[in-house]
Amino acid sequence: MTHRITIYDTTLRDGAQGEGVNFSLTDKVRIARKMDEFGMDYIEGGWPGSNPKDIDFFESMKKERLSHSKLCAFGSTRRPHRKASEDDLILQLLKAETPVITIFGKSWDFHVTHALKVSHEENLEMIHDSITFLKSHVDEVIFDVEHFFDGYKHNRNYAMECLKVAGEAGASVLALCDTNGGTLPMEIGAVMEDVIANAPVAIGIHLHNDSGCGVANALIAVDKGAIQVQGTINGYGERCGNANLTSIIANLRLKMGRDCLVHDSLSHLTSLSQYIDETANLAPNTRAPFVGRSAFAHKAGVHVDAVLKHRSTYEHVEPESVGNTRRMLVSELSGGSTIVNKAAKHELDLTKSSPETRMLLKKVADLERHGYSFEGAEASFELLLMETMGTYRKLFDLEGFRVIVEQRSDKTPVTEATVKIKVNGEERLEVAEGDGPVHALDSALRKALLHFYPELANIKLTDFKVRVVDTSDGTAAKVRTIIDSTDGAEVWSTVGVSENMVVASWKALVEGVVYGILRKNIIKTHQTQ
């Protein structure tokens, strides 16, 4: 008999301990709501009593009504030589008023004597007293058995005794922790077999990724009998992070056929991953399995040609199953199949042998030789495609632009841009200030074009990246700029290359604006057909 696997998310607590991760109170509440919508079984909200923000979070969550998830408060066993009923940290857990409380305790005898500095017996009493007291006030207590695998290796009998005591005290799940993240998959499997054969209650698993084995260890633990997996979205966490739930969930459902979460959770996995990254203000890992932007991206011509014939040739699962999308990258390595696929999206009928296809492949190769890259700038390629096919509509002519950066003593520099354009014979000249050259140019261009293209009001620049193409030329080297833009419904990227960073930025900026306006018009045309 295979058990349903419960997924326990600790992004808001363990994940927030990762370097560079900092959630505000509002962030934490919003993420909790998102996790509930996703169908997460358990949401560990934080450690009330450890900091004011977590206390405020649990107060805020008392006003929320979660439809699926169980909110958990996290803490530790009571302190040595006192009663759990008199320990302020234990009492603070009850004040959170969550249906589940998770506490951790020591199971490695080395930690007991060197970190806690208590006897083995006192540690066992701390575990028993804490769980017994909490269980008398809440329905469910989960015990995170800290450093269990290291403890098992050094003193199996004592580590197993900790499990026995916690189970007898009333813990519903004993989550075995690889706290230092140094245990390998073959070790996890062997230990799990022994624990499952002798466990007093259900076993869960909580893993860190210091050896790069977090996901693999979690899957092996489930295969051996664990019924709960703890981890974080996108693998956030201290040091090298926690086991990545996005990969674990996808593998459990798609590869192992295990029942977890709600029916349609998997189709929202990519959007949840992106939401957490965006809220944390961290750049997404584009190569993340299942949910990364590159997870189903195909670049080599042979790969693209094969995938278009049958996706299984180079994809191990369907991208839609995890809410992701297939992407065909355009580069000097592309074949005709990539061009044909891109053209089809614009209802353009091309074949691999079409003259336009060969012409586009040559243009891409020539431009990449000069520093362009269309892998991360698909909007620029689509404009190139439209130019080659004769469907491109020029929106304006540039008469000229100028950028002035003025530094006055120790004050903030002032950047001013002047843009002069012509649309259908009508000239417009606009001046704008900005935080830097790109911001100022963007503002001036918008002011000049908004009169002719009011839809530009909804198009925003969201990101700007600069890279030196050839460092051997020093300060005279070409630079490549990538600009991300959005209209609120879609994000697109454009590229510009020049020895002058402002010129390169201008090229990418213009293409981002042009693509956004043309895209709007194309959508309107299709909707009226």
The DSSP result for 3-54, as a single string, is PPBEEEE-TTTTGGGSTT----HHHHHHHHHHHHHHT-SEEEEE-BTTBHHH
Residue from 228, 270, 224, 280 nearest 247 by CA: 270
Q: H helices within 281-354, ranges in order?
A: 301-309, 336-345
Sketch out the chain's domains with CATH numbers: 6-262 (3.20.20.70), 297-369 (no CATH), 396-452 (3.30.160.740)
Does the pLDDT value for residue 304 go beyond 60? no
pLDDT, one tens digit per residue, over 448-487 is 999 899 989 989 888 888 888 764 555 557 888 888 898 8
Does the pLDDT value for residue 526 go beyond 60? no
On whether the pTM is more than 0.85, the answer is no
Question: Would you state the pLDDT for residue 303?
Answer: 63
Does the pLDDT value for residue 414 go beyond 90? no
Does the pLDDT value for residue 86 go beyond 50? yes
**Greatest mean pLDDT range, 40-44, 259-263, 289-293, 353-357:** 40-44
Question: Would you state the pLDDT for residue 321?
Answer: 95
Instruction: Using DSSP, state whether 56 is helix, strand or coil.
Output: helix
How does DSSP classify residue 469?
S
Question: Would you state the pLDDT for residue 450?
Answer: 92
Four-point Cα dihedral 129, 135, 137, 142, nearest 10: 110
Four-point Cα dihedral 86, 87, 88, 89, nearest 10: -150
Q: Residue 509: in which H helix or E strand, if any?
A: helix 501-528
pLDDT, one tens digit per residue, over 178-233 is 999 999 999 999 999 999 999 999 999 999 999 999 999 999 999 999 999 999 99
Stretch 367-380: mean pLDDT: 77
Q: How far is Cα 395 from Cα 398, in angstroms, rounded to an integer?
A: 10
Does the pLDDT value for residue 317 go beyond 80? yes
Contact 495, 380 (CB under 8 A): yes
pLDDT, one tens digit per residue, over 33-69 is 999 999 999 999 999 988 899 999 999 999 999 999 9
